[in-house]
Amino acid sequence: MVAKWQIVVLFLCHSGHLKAEKTQVGYTPSVDCQSLPQAGYPFCDTSLPAGERASDLVSRLTLEELIAQTSSIAPAIPRLGINAYNWRSNCVHGWTASGGSWPPGLYWTVFPAPINLAATFDRYLVQQVAQITSDEGRGLHNVMLSRYNGSSTEAAGLNCFSPNVNLFRDPRWGRGQETFGEDPYIISVLGSAYTEGLQQGEDPQYLKVAACAKHFAVHSGPEELRLGFTAYATTHDLYDTYLPAFKSQVLAAKVAQIMPAYSGLKCAGIPEGAPDCANPFLLQSVLRGQFGAPNVSIISDNGGVGFVYSEQHYASTPEEAAVVSMDASTDLDLGYDVVYPTYLPEAVSDHLVDPATISDAIWRAFYLRMRVGDFDLPSMVSYQSINASHLNTPQNQLANLNAALESMVLLKNDGTLPLKSVGVAKVAILGPNANATTTLLSNYQGVPQFVVSVQEGITAALAGTGVEIASAPGCADVVCSDTSGFAEALSAAKGADYVVMVMGLDGTVESEGHDRVLTSCEGVAQDNLALPGCQTALVEQVAQLNPKVVLVLVNGGPVSIPSLLPNSGVVGIVEAFYPGAVGGTAVAHVLFGKYNPAGRMPVSTFESTADLLPSTNYNMSDPPGRTYRYFSGTPLIPFGYGLSYTTFKYSNIAVVPLAISPCQEVVVTVLVQNVGALPGDEVVQLYVKPPQIPDKPFFPKMQLLGVVRQSTDPSVSYNVAFNLSPYSMALVDEDGEHYIIPGEYVVYVGGGLPESSLEVATVSSAFSVEGSNVVNVKDCPNSPQSRSVSSGIKSARSEAAQTAVTTPDVRTSVAHHRSTEENLPSAAELEVCEQFSERLLAPFNFAKRTYTEDESLAGGAEGNEGSTAPHVGGAAVRSNWRLSRQLCYNAPSASNSTPCSFHPLKFTFKHPERQAFRGAKQTEKRGTSSGLLITNPLKKPSCIRMDRLSRDGPSQVVHYCGVVEEGYNKSEDEQREIAVVISAEGFFSTGLHNFAQATSRLEALLRYTFKDKLLLQVPSVLQHPSTFNLPLLFSLQCPVHSDQLGLLQLLSTHASQRLTYISKANTDSVVILTNTGLKLPTTDSHVHSTKMTDRTQFYVTGEPEWFPIADFVPGSDKFGFELSQACFCNELP
């Protein structure tokens, strides 16, 4: 019999065999727009905006047809060629199987639970997980569409009810495992990344999958009461804690759909309270009004509209429940026994509901379906070619393993970890979760081909070593109500070199429908937060017998282990949460040192329920306070905590400026160095402690405002910069408005929460906001203004149509740039700016690439309120641009004028015909070359930013800064060229996450070699050579000397790639770095080409009309560059 761990190895190593077994599945359109009469109707005209098409379709429906479409099982409309559509699908951490009629032999990826993804503190990884999830969701939809003749089936639609961006407010909540933790900032950042990953792909005309953020808005238990419970929230808590993640969903991530919670909300905006489905304050005033979301579809939770009557008793009849929910703006009624289709006809007849309101609701539903391409031919929608061969691929499983690895949190290590397999005779594996499989999948799981338990993962790691493995569960199940299994476990542990104990929770203890259950050990009740039943007693007895216990926790909500954390017999503790289908492999990799853990706790672990408020109390600041932002006590394990097998040192923190007036930004920089012996990730966290005002107890004690996860080799240091915008540092007052409060703000940067019970490396500084009056952020210059959205179908439809026509999506732009005509700085001004930047940045060896989340995500995307353009480019690029501008603008000058001004650059783009893209796979034929020439005819300080867009999301391609040097060995009239070449294949094989993670290794080598001559910031070299398939060609023109030829050896050794360094000594040379090895051509020709494996790449040595970009990106207008420029004041030290 073949063990599951062997299947994993075979699966990952023999991808070709697996793919060969997959077959293309025929596709049947869900809407027939080829037949008459509908072929001639505007709703089938693909040249029209989606809003206009939806308006035309709605205008052709009878009232009966409109009402029928309000059901989540939308019936077919045969006379218009429209098949049935089922709105019920989930994709919480991979596509959910529940409710689907799946054919046998169909498997797909089950990722770690969202609480695991939160523990990564890595938005790029979360986005990659969502991208793969949407790929597989599209594949499943297309498979099932063919199977059921064009009608979408349950669990296989083009929308999905994810992400869950509720706050994990109370650790007893059974659904906390579905969330991104307890911090509004992290939930906003990761939730937006997940939505972007689901919706965005290589085809900007369509959403890949329509995400649905849930459960709007104040919802986190108690589960047992959720159907009839009404939460009370202060206005402060509503806007400071509960709404930011949803605001980010709408404004930053552009979520397509929202699901209200079962529970109700009572607050100042609706003092009498109302169920969320029937809450006009939440749905109309906040969501559609304040957030500006007139076109977002709203669908109830399962049975939610009916519960307005039967559970909430807000309505006296089902008909009234239908009326108040529809009037509140709940568009669709999710459920099997729905209220809308049954009672809305009578309500319309009784003049209780305006038919136009129903028309509004169905317009939004069809608008969404058109945005996902449900009404268009498969040949027009590249995603419709995704099929079964895109499910469960080796690449997806590698990404799954990487997600599980990044989520592992090391809570304790006395030096025993990582474990050694050499010289070990016996290992014991104990605990009720040691051989668990389904438990690792959390809830809302898909159908994995295999699940690797922790015991199987360890067995695989020790295969062939001759180590004896003894095992025993010790408990019959996780409830572990008695000690009857202890003797067997103790016997297995006796004489073992070390004992791995896999304890924790499962769905019987925490789940949807019930919060953490009370358990007992031999009749003695256990604390609700503790390990269930006799589990703690089992660990204590084993540790006393054999003091070499490594504890692995498998759980969703945090578990309290106050007696085990300091127990000397417990030598190590790893928090694994619910790590998904390959979680056992990930745990083994961490235990045996194949992976250096760097996960962080996304929730606080409290010692006991005595530290908690009643679960029905939603007030965040009531003593002792909820979450790390308000808790006045000392948590057992703080939020943000996690260890590594290496050590990181923080130093040289700088805050600029140290004193600001309200509405100014602050830049924080810090130097981070790996001073340990192993490479590893560090999660750099920035916390701010705002002024503490006695009569404002609801202000948070401390809050997270920036996160960077960065990989670093031993002895390598790097700089991190954070921007603190006025909005991000503002505090929410009783009225829900954001104010900048005068006083001192203490800034902490380190590997975890400062001033906590467990020691973490941090450095601190402070800045002050001067003045005596508070300032509303809205009153700041250039502050985004609240949107005013009028109600009514005409407004919503016309806005959608206008947006589709007049608002360019920069993702579709082949060459998009901004050019500003301004006066150039004088020589004196420029010198002042250069001196200021050099003096400020020199101590930090400031790196061009900086990491910080866009402040638009922090606290609810306020920074993006005024923009209709989608996110393009990484946060690092945006932050760096803002940082450099801030440095230049803050430079002192005699005239107090801006020392560095913008000036125009010249852009020329060549864009020949390119090959189309097919689904998630490249066509056999590569794309043809395209090119771009960027020149600086005025030879002034300038910066070029180019953001590459692919199906893996936006990614920084090049960030170039420099000044034309005196004595440049060219003629006076010759223009300066800069360029970069990256093949499309690399983006498709690696994903955005790898680009965000691995810059520092190559950057450090380049900086070491070129020193002050380096003018080009290289985006990345991948950490995992096995997934590296990216020819990099960077061209920078600066003097390079023969003594720098040692770069070849450095790159080959540290980057594990065949990277070739080519230069002409003592000239203004072209430097080419590529893993395929180009030869430097002669300089008597303008454009040269050299054959590289199966493709040709081009580069420039003369003065061409354009600079080619080889293998640009196949697919017409599906990708592009964004180009911008700014003065960087020659800031490189």
Across the chain, which has 1133 residues, the per-10-residue mean pLDDT values are 40 33 52 92 95 97 98 96 95 94 93 98 95 96 87 91 98 98 97 96 92 97 95 97 97 97 95 96 96 96 97 97 97 94 97 96 98 93 91 93 97 97 95 98 96 97 95 97 97 97 97 95 96 98 98 98 98 98 97 97 97 96 97 97 98 94 93 96 97 92 95 92 92 95 97 92 96 93 46 37 29 21 35 36 27 28 26 26 28 31 30 26 27 35 35 37 29 27 24 31 37 32 28 28 29 28 25 28 27 25 25 26 25 23
Say what the pLDDT of residue 879 is.
28
Residue 978 to residues 679, 974, 1033, 1038, 1122, Cα–Cα distance (Å): 33, 13, 12, 10, 15
Determine whether 1066 is exposed, middle or buried from the number of CB atoms within 10 Å of its CB (0-12, 13-18, 19+).
exposed
301 tagged catalytic: yes
Say what the pLDDT of residue 1098 is.
25
Half-sphere CA count of 43, side-chain side, radius 13 A? 25
Per the CB < 8 A criterion, the answer to whether 537 and 481 are in contact is no
Strand blocks (E) in 818-929? 906-910
Nearest alpha carbon to residue 1095 among 1109, 1080, 1081: 1109
Say what the pLDDT of residue 756 is.
86
DSSP 708: E
Say what the pLDDT of residue 204 is.
86
Say what the pLDDT of residue 167 is.
98
Please state whether the peptide bond connecting residue 1039 to the residue before it is cis, i.e. omega within 30 degrees of 0: no
Spell 591-629 as b/e; 16+ CB within 10 A means b.
bbbebbbbbbbbbbbbbebebbbebeebbbbbeebbbbb
In this structure, is the dihedral angle defined by the CA atoms of residues 772, 776, 778 and 779, taken in order, positive or negative? negative
- Helices marked H in 284-350: 304-310, 318-328, 340-349
User: Whole-model pTM?
Assistant: 0.74
Neighbours of 65 (CB within 10 A): 16
First-last CA distance in the chain: 62
Say what the pLDDT of residue 152 is.
81
- Single out the catalytic residue among 301, 360, 374, 854: 301
